Amino acid sequence: MALPAESVAAARVLSPREREVLDLLANGLTGEEAAVRLSLSPETIRTHIRNAMGKLGARTRVHAVAIAMRRGEIV
């Protein structure tokens, strides 16, 4: 059973940019490739990944992607 849209939005803990970065990683891009795609520095991408990992309680970037997908933060 799907959650109502307002419940999903309330349950989200990641920023829109963190979701965007994790989505790119989920689609196979490296951090460097995500940086180029988003016109950001690689260090900024690493910061978004690190912040997302902290918010999700993930141990690795792959773990962060898995948790974000399971929570519905990314599709």
Q: How does pLDDT run across 53-67, given as a tens digit for each residue? A: 999 999 999 999 999
* CA torsion through residues 60, 66, 68, 74, sign: positive
pLDDT band at 71 (very low <50, low <70, confident <90, very high): very high
pTM beyond 0.75: the answer is yes
Q: How does pLDDT run across 2-30, given as a tens digit for each residue? A: 555 544 555 789 999 999 999 999 999 99
Locate 36 and state its tokens. Answer: 């180029």
